[in-house]
Structure 1
Amino acid sequence: MLRIRRYIIQITKLFIFLLFILILSSCRENNQKKEITEIIKSWQGKEIIFPEGLIFTKYGKDTIEYNIPVSDYKIIMYVDSVGCTECKLLLNRWKKFIHEVNLMANDTVPILFFFYPKDLREISFILQQDSIDIPVCIDKENKINQINHFPSQQDFQCFLLDKQNRVIYIGNPIRNEQIKEMYLSAISNGKYSPSVQSSGITRIKVDQTNFDLGILKKDDNKKVCVIIRNIGKLPFVIHDVKTSCGCVQINYIKQPVAPGNTTEVSLTYHADKTGLINKTVSIYGNMDISPLTINLKGEVVIAEKNK
């Protein structure tokens, strides 16, 4: 009876999740809505097959002996070779999430990364940089994707699996707070309850949301500051700040901002590639315009050699 009850709860959450996705997608094209819905439906309950001969490593370079354990739950993340690996991964957030899962489940829920790499050195570097020491699979032949045919959209290349490796939820808990809550609720058998971060919505005023970084030379750094004033009646709290690229470093104070006071979000752009700059930063909090979107524009050029 308990297993049936859990299954009913999961199905109910799935329909709530589908409704949530449809609401978020209301401003998109109808065919995109349909595509997202079909992805979720088609993967619900689907078994993930782990091919033989997978090689696990530490930090993407040192081979280790590791067998995927039989556990009530496991989380797998597939990372393909398309685009900026560091931008897609957001390992600093994964590190916090892994810690939260381990505390909740007493280290009984394995979190597995499967990389189909275009640059093995890059993966090794970013794993060491963020001290991600869990076993990761470097799947040079892309075996796991060839068997399972994962969705091409990066937001749907992460899965919460049950004991039989069937998909309970699909979606990236690092990029979507509601998906994260659903993962943690399932793992804790419904005991997880997200903390209340604010007692209500307040109003804010921002002087500038569009920044022209101008012409930068490659490897230059450019810093701008977003000043946010709390013009409401409740304390203002920044819950999270997300960027479209790892080339933007973010710093902000996490303490509540009293009505009438200001807080500052510092954004430092590192010009790692030449070309036009078109980056966005999303600031989430208990304000009337959430997320607050900050746009960074400009151009990076090759530095002239001294004549």
Structure 2
Amino acid sequence: MKQRLYILSLLFLLAACQENKKEQFARLVQEWQGKEIVFPQDMAFTRFVTEQVEYRIPDAEYKVLIYVDSTGCTSCKLQLPKWKELIAHVDSTTNSNIPFIFVFQSKDDKELRYILKRDNFDRPVCIDRDSRLDKLNKFPQDITFQTFLLDKNNKVKVIGNPVHNLAVRALYLKQIAGVQHKEILAKTTLEPEKSEYDLGTVKEGTTKKQTIAVRNTGITVFKLTGFTTSCDCTEATCNWKELQPGESGTITVSYEAEQPGDFYRTVEIYGNIPNNSLMVSFIGTVK
């Protein structure tokens, strides 16, 4: 009961914080735009944490720095399959000219090695043992603001995590390759049947699926651009791309119960709606 009350209290606080997200983002953009990122001179890179490799940060027109601290769920933060998908897309549009620099703090090398091998992520990564990169630059504590698109002088062009936020992804692609939406869509409104779902008790090692319904309550067509999830243990899929005014559609959310304890996960639905996305949350307990 106490754990469930804790989750409900956390949800209340998160809801209150949503109102300040825009202000926080605007402040961080103003603070970090044009700021130079300083790299230690002797950064060491490895594959799968164990195999040291020769790697030097290339002198390129643009580069992406992904910094991941050691707090919280490592797998949730990394979302490596989504990074592989984004890197493949960028490579296809830029002839592989954009380096992606992954720098991780590690609270558990064994866990990090397992995640890298599980996701077959064989790119060079730097393990920032003494938080040197963070100490030199004093990154924001929020994981969603620890990723940067840098220019050839290592100055920040875009701040934000493009695999956690599709609007930020669009900014990266526009800056890197001039990719932008040609069609400007009129805004509509989208309402979920419920904004929060309680999945109850989920057995460890199993997958729980939940069907959610959303309805276009506006006067123009809703066009879906994609989903993001708070963790790679959560996936959202649907068999439609558009909803006419007044039309409803269903989305299937799958949650893979990896470890015991209470959980809070979110799915963001992106499209031509205010703030560009709509968040639905899921709570429960893994036993």
* TM-score, structure 1 as length reference: 0.74
Tell whether 2:236 aligns with 1:250.
Answer: yes
Contact 1:203 1:232 (C-alpha < 8 Å) held by counterparts = yes
Structure 1 segment 21-170 matched on structure 2, within 5 A: 27-28=19-20, 33=23, 36-170=25-159
What one-letter code is carried by the residue in structure 1 that aligns with 2:260? T
| Secondary structure at 2:90 match in 1 | helix
Question: Cα 1:201–1:220, aligned 2, differ >3 Å: closer, same or farther?
Answer: same
Tell whether 2:253 aligns with 1:267.
Answer: yes
Residue 113 of structure 1 deviates from its aligned partner by: 0.5
Contact 2:104 2:128 (C-alpha < 8 Å) held by counterparts = yes
Partner of 1:194: 181
Contact 2:229 2:267 (C-alpha < 8 Å) held by counterparts = yes
| Secondary structure at 1:151 match in 2 | coil
| Secondary structure at 2:180 match in 1 | coil
Deviations 1:119-177 (A, max 9, x none): 22333333333343332112222222222222222122111222222222222222333
| Secondary structure at 1:265 match in 2 | strand
Question: Cα 1:195–1:133, aligned 2, differ >3 Å: closer, same or farther?
Answer: farther
Contact 2:163 2:228 (C-alpha < 8 Å) held by counterparts = no
Residue 38 of structure 1 deviates from its aligned partner by: 4.6
Tell which has more relative contact order, 1 or 2 (C-alpha 8 A, sep 6+). 2
Q: Of the candidates 189, 195, 202, which is equivalent to residue 216 of structure 1?
A: 202
Partner of 1:19: none
Structure 1 segment 2-21 matched on structure 2, within 5 A: none
Partner of 1:291: 277
Gaps of 5+ in 1: 1-24, 302-307
| Secondary structure at 2:283 match in 1 | strand
CA distance in 2: counterparts of 1:63 and 1:217, whole angstroms: 39
Partner of 1:16: none
Q: May I ask how many residue pairs the two structures share in their alignment?
A: 271
Q: CA RMSD in A?
A: 3.2
Q: Give the % identical residues.
A: 35
Gaps of 5+ in 2: 1-16
| Secondary structure at 2:130 match in 1 | coil
Deviations 1:268-300 (A, max 9, x none): 223333333333322223468963433323323
Question: Cα 1:247–1:93, aligned 2, differ >3 Å: closer, same or farther?
Answer: closer
